[in-house]
Structure 1
Amino acid sequence: MWKFKHLPDIVVITTLALVVGIGAGFGAILTEGLVELVHHIFFETKLWGLLDGMGIYHLMIIPALGALLFAPIIIHFARDARGHGVSEVLEAVSVHGGRIPPRVGVVKSIASGLCIGSGGSVGLEGPIAQIGSALGSTVGQIFTLTEDRIRLLLACGAGAGISATFHAPITGTIFALELILGHVEARYFSAVVISAVVADTIAQLHRASCFVAPPYTLVSVWELYFYAILGVFAALGALTFTKVLFKMEELWSKVPVSDYIRPALGALVLGVIAIILFQFDGFQVNDFPRLFGIGYETISDALNGSLPLQVIFALFLIKIFTTSLTLGSGGSGGTFTPSLFMGAMLGGTFGIIIHGWFPGITAEPGAYALAGMAAFLGAAAHAPFTAIIVAFEITHNFYIILPIMLATVISTLVAQSLSPTSMYTLKLVKRGIKIRRGAPEHATDVMETTTVGEAMSTEVETVPLTMPLFHLMEKFDQSHRHGFPVVDETGELAGVVSIKDLDAAIAGGQLSGRTVAEIATTDLLVAYPYEPMGAALQRLGVREISRLPVVKEEGSRQLVGILLRTDIIKGYNEALAKRSQKK
């Protein structure tokens, strides 16, 4: 291994990119196979006949059963496997030096297979991209490569995952460079291309292309005005989806139920919607709800102009809600394909209306569905290059390049002017994580690349809510500390108490019979192990405090450490020393 690492850089990177591409290709086949197997067991055999007597209500029971299976797997083995995957990959690139725990890829594959196979309204590309990223990161860690090389192999894995999912190696390459790395450089481009091409070659052994569309053309130059208007609508639709997705995650995090149960509740709601829609014509394909699963057939129907206006518009609105519901309640799957789905439905709706008004100068509605796919994805992901390429590569339709480029660029510009964050970065920015962009040698604030978990103190002295104030006074005298986290009878964080709080109580007079619960601050600011120190430092400045309790994750009260100003200074110095050693 030592000899291999010291071979010429191009040999090392090319060889490992080839390995990552092979792994991502087979990973995509295994994950897709798991989805098909779960779908077969649940929907085709009705759980080996056990659900035969349930009638239409199996559409509600099956998603809930799938959620009950994947929820404990995520909770016990890899919480990073929850959600759509790309945000977690960006966090690894921006904060963790490209390092992703190897188990994440395995857990993501199983959880997503169960979620999508049982009807979750999400895509497969995000999970496969995260699986490929975890593989690339693991390979880099095994060979103890530098952080820059690990990030590159992570990007190779992400691009290979997208390539294998859609049989689109160019899209996979641009996705990795535009979204994951945020820059283009010849040596990185070559490595990502190798991984993407190899992964796609292997994945084609499993299935053919997902979509088929007629060879649409630009009927009239006047159509360009309509495509420009479509770009604006796509931007507004994409912004709506991003906001609904984030709000849904916030809403479900506040639902007072166990993490084991929350995804099942979301799945039950999804099932109820499916049962209602199943009563109407056009909302099912092959006796399967169009809103369940990935939705390749429905996208193809939109591209071929075979969906009526009321169905295609309703599917656009419903998909925004159901994808947000699945992910917000704790499901596992991607948002890339759902964005293509929503864009195709929105574009198809627009096309039906415009073609009805101006049949002589406009193409068939399917052409607008194709442009809508690209425009919606470009606006939602802030990735116009990826969106433009994917529209051509997955449909093999290169005849309306100008309309697609125009609609996508306009949608992306409108979306970026209205919101600086995308569906992949909004959650990270809200947590204070600065997305890494630019070439690896570009300097990055060490406060944004060092996490709270790396700097915090894990040995935490706490006091119970029931502690008498006289005992608290003694504890302050003995420890010489200025504050303590306060825990309840279950050991979970309930508040903090400072020496200033105690001084105020003493100044007020009566201490006898009073407890910590009466003076503790319960309106807490907390930190999380995975967020950058810069975000925690800003939070300390909000109330001019000197410590932040660190809890396991958002919505949790499980105390895992405490972050003091001295910890931040120590972490900052260690990060500077580490950067100096690398240089």
Structure 2
Amino acid sequence: MVGPAGRVVRSRRLGLLALALLVGLGAGLGAVLFRLMIENLTRLFTGYTDYAAVPGRAHGYLPGVGGWFVVLAPVLAGAVYGPLVQRFAREARGHGVPEVMLAVARNGGRIRPQVAAVKAAASALCIAGGGSVGREGPIVQIGSALGSSLAQLCRLDERRIRLLVACGAAGGISATFNAPLAGVFFAMELILRQWAADSFGMVVVASVTSSVVARGLLGDVPFLPLPPFHVEHLVEYPLFALLGLVAGLTGVGFSRVLYLVEDLCDWAWRGPEWLRPMVGGVVLGGLLLVLPQMYGVGYPVLGRAVDGGYAIAFLLVLLVGKVIACSLTIGIGGSGGVFAPSLFCGAMVGAAFGEVVQAVAPSAGGSVGAFALVGMGAVFAGAARAPITAVVMLFELTGEYTIILPLMLAIVLATGISHLVSHDTVYTRKLLRRDIDIDEPADARLARQPLGTVMGPTPPSVVADTPLREVAALFASSGAGSLPVLDPDGRYLGVLSAHEIMDAVASGEDTDVGSLCSPAESAHVSEPLSRAVRLLDAGAPAVAVVDDQDTLVGWVGARDVLAAFGGPSVPERPATAAQVR
């Protein structure tokens, strides 16, 4: 039922606009608060606002321990956020965006209110404690939870709940990256997954509001300062195309390794889930001790790579290290996003590619930074398959129109190669592993339901040696159009229809029904609904559902199929007296 506030919003677009503004305001404030939480907790764990800017240094407050504190930081953080997530919001574990996509696609946009608070606390602790994940995924889930909670509080319908969820996601991305356009396209392309003028307008309002709030509180500065880039020679375009293909494959590889490591962690862990981040933190801490550049989100390291500050070999080390560190953080039960890690990997691939080009063909032109920037967008596009978001975001970050053409070329090729080699993305793969395909049409999804979930009760059964007139009386009293026939041991033999009894009675036959029943295929209780549909289409009056012992356990008729597909529930008409006489 739609509540009073919902009726106002439903009748007045101004009301929905006001809610979009509120969601954008909340997402902007949430993004700022989340960022401050990460910075202050990082200072507590390391003595610095961002340890990736000073990798390998001793603790800022405890210089006597040297750099060994990085082994302990993930353990302490995991000891806090592990029980927090397990107790209050298990969906806050992982990278967040798939849960939002699932809520919009299957759950009417409904997200529990506590998810916002738990996700903020858990992700801030995880990142501050060395977790090599991003803050974008969490803020998408936080903003989406705020939008969903507000919509549910106003008791809006599902369409408007999903819209406000998308508004929250757009606001989160907008405030985090200081990129309002990218926030809009992220929400439309990945969360709503459909385009409509009304939805677009509301999402724009939320994204702009969130960006204004963040800029007012944090300043109008890009999240990652980048030098100006220019593309001057046509010969560079084939190189950017080749980079797009390499980056697209890198994005797919990043996704595969992420879930492979998660599977390995699932296989290796036998204890309670709340303890997993703490114990797994020991392994993550060991990796950070060897490669401290992996501590936290890693934007300072990314920025230095774009500036050409690393040699080719070390760029490849950072690429592999980020893939493993991010995967391990998620695998041990950490909470954080994969958006920023994909950008990080893209910068390393692009910068390494640019270094190779300059070493092999220095006259070909193209700066290392330009290749790194294009690599960022292409790897994200290959991993998430969101080309519009990738193009818009990287364009907003640089403001350089001259790079838009090579950027579009590389991102389109990265998306295309990703389509060729992988059915899923870094976001949808998590859902597919739970047998949830949000791209599957609703009818196809319903057709895959097991018959045991849609079958109706069995009608009165008839034993094969029952006299004809007793069966006619049973048809008349039950009102069924068809009845199952069983052998003396209770096994299903076939189906008997009312018109067959009518014809036999009219012709004066006096026999048992075993000779009249039509042998009919049965369906196992675990088979999909689509099998029953095929049998009914082939002319079967109904489909008998049996178990492993061929015992009749259910009955599927046209009415059951219509009910499963959301059609009108039409009661079967009772057999008339003429049909059974």
Q: Does 1:299 align with 2:302?
A: yes
User: In structure 2, how many angstroms separate the alpha carbons of the residues matched to 1:390 and 1:397?
Assistant: 12
> Which segment drifts farther, 569-578 or 138-147?
569-578
Using the TM superposition, give the Cα deviation of residue 434 of structure 1 relative to its aligned residue in structure 2, in angstroms: 2.2
Residue matched to 2:282: 268
- From the superposition, tell whether residues 3 and 118 of structure 1 become closer, same or farther in structure 2 (CA, over 3 Å): closer
The CA deviation at 1:574 is 8.0
- Equivalent position amino acid for 1:358 in 2: A
1:11 correspondence with 2:14: yes
Q: Match for 1:21 among 2, 16, 24?
A: 24
| Contact 1:96–1:449 under 8 Å retained in 2 | no
Query: Are positions 1:402 and 2:416 aligned together?
Result: no
* 1:299-338 alignment runs, 5 A limit: 299-338=302-341
Change (3 A) 1:245 1:579: farther
Matches of 2:266 and 2:12 in 1, distance apart? Answer: 46
Deviation at 1:60, TM superposition (A): 0.4
Query: Which of 368, 372, 379 lines up with 2:371 in the alignment?
Result: 368
Check 1:41–1:451 CA distance in 2 against 1; reply closer, same or farther (3 A cut): farther
Q: Are 1:100 and 1:138, in contact at CA under 8 Å, matched by a contact in 2? A: yes
Amino acid at match of 1:226: L
Q: Give the TM-score of the pair, scaled to structure 2.
A: 0.74
Pairwise mapping of residues 354-393 of structure 1 onto structure 2 (< 5 A)? 354-393=357-396
SS state at 2:83 partner: helix
Separation of aligned partners in 2, 1:363 and 1:183: 37
Tell me the equivalent position of 2:76: 65
Given that 2:170 and 2:206 are in contact with CA atoms closer than 8 Å, whether structure 1 keeps it comes out as yes
1:20-68 C-alpha deviation (Å, 9 max, x unpaired): 000000111111111011101110089995x654332211001111111
Residue 209 of structure 1: aligned partner:
222
SS of equivalent to 1:333:
coil
> Mapping of 1:426-445 within 5 angstroms?
426-435=429-438, 444-445=442-443
- Amino acid of the residue matched to residue 215 of structure 1? P
Distance in 2 separating the partners of 1:311 and 1:565: 64
Question: SS state of the match for residue 219, structure 1?
Answer: coil
CA contact (8 A) 2:5 2:155 kept: no
Could you say if the C-alpha distance between residues 571 and 68 of structure 1 is closer, same or farther in structure 2, counting changes exceeding 3 Å? Answer: farther
Q: What does residue range 6-405 of structure 1 map to in structure 2 within 5 Å?
A: 6-7=8-9, 8-44=11-47, 53-204=64-215, 205-207=217-219, 208-254=221-267, 255-277=269-291, 289-405=292-408
Q: Is the 8 A contact 1:213 1:397 kept in 2?
A: no
Per the TM alignment, residue 269 of structure 1 is displaced from its structure 2 partner at its CA by 1.6
Distance 1:275 1:253 in 2: 24
Shift of the 225–249 alpha-carbon distance from structure 1 to 2, 3 Å rule, reads same
Q: Which runs of 5+ in 2 are unaligned?
A: 49-57, 455-525, 532-544, 571-581
1:223 alignment partner AA: E
Q: Which residue of 2 aligns with 1:423?
A: 426
The alignment yields a C-alpha RMSD, in angstroms, of 3.1
Note if contact 1:446-1:572 (Cα within 8 Å) is conserved in structure 2.
no
Q: Which amino acid aligns with 1:179?
A: L
Q: Distance in 2 between matches of 1:354 and 1:327?
A: 34
Alignment partner, residue 466 of structure 1: none
User: Is the contact between residue 563 and residue 569 of structure 2 (CA under 8 Å) also seen in structure 1?
Assistant: no
Instruction: Flag structure 1 segments of 5+ consecutive residues without an equivalent.
Output: 278-288, 438-442, 457-535, 548-563
Per-residue displacement from partner, 1:251-279 (whole Å, max 9, x unpaired)? 112221221222123322222122223xx
Amino acid at match of 1:344: A
What do residues 253-306 of structure 1 show as CA deviations (whole Å, max 9, x unaligned)?
A: 2221221222123322222122223xxxxxxxxxxx321111111121122222
Matched residue SS, 2:364: coil
Match of 2:4 in 1: 2
Deviation at 1:447, TM superposition (A): 5.2
Alignment partner, residue 464 of structure 1: none
User: Any idea what the Cα deviations from partners look like across 1:102-139, whole Å, max 9, x if unmatched?
Assistant: 00111000000100011100000000000001011111
Q: 2 CA distance for matches of 1:360 and 1:579?
A: 73
Provide, for residues 430-471 of structure 1, a one-character-per-residue CA deviation record: whole Å limited to 9, x for no partner: 22212158xxxxx8339569999xx89xxxxxxxxxxxxxxx
Q: Partners in 1 of 2:529 and 2:74 — Cα distance?
A: 39
CA shift at 1:570, angstroms?
Answer: 8.9
Preserved CA contact (<8 Å) 1:447 1:572: no
Amino acid at match of 2:238: Y
Closer, same or farther: CA 52–539 of 1 in aligned 2, 3 Å: farther
**Count of equivalent residues:** 465
- Cα deviation for residue 382 of structure 1 reads 0.6
Q: Helix, strand or coil for the counterpart of 1:175? A: helix
Instruction: Give the Cα–Cα distance (whole angstroms) in 2 for the partners of residues 450 and 206 of structure 1.
Output: 50
- Structure 2 distance, partners of 1:571, 1:194, is 43
State the identity as a percent: 39
User: Which of 544, 556, 576 is 2:566 aligned to?
Assistant: 576
- Structure 1 residues 251 and 336 mapped into 2: Cα distance closer, same or farther (>3 Å)? same
* Contact 1:94–1:434 (CA under 8 A) maintained in structure 2: no
Measured after TM superposition, the shift of residue 216 of structure 1 is: 1.2
Q: Output the TM-score relative to the length of structure 1.
A: 0.74
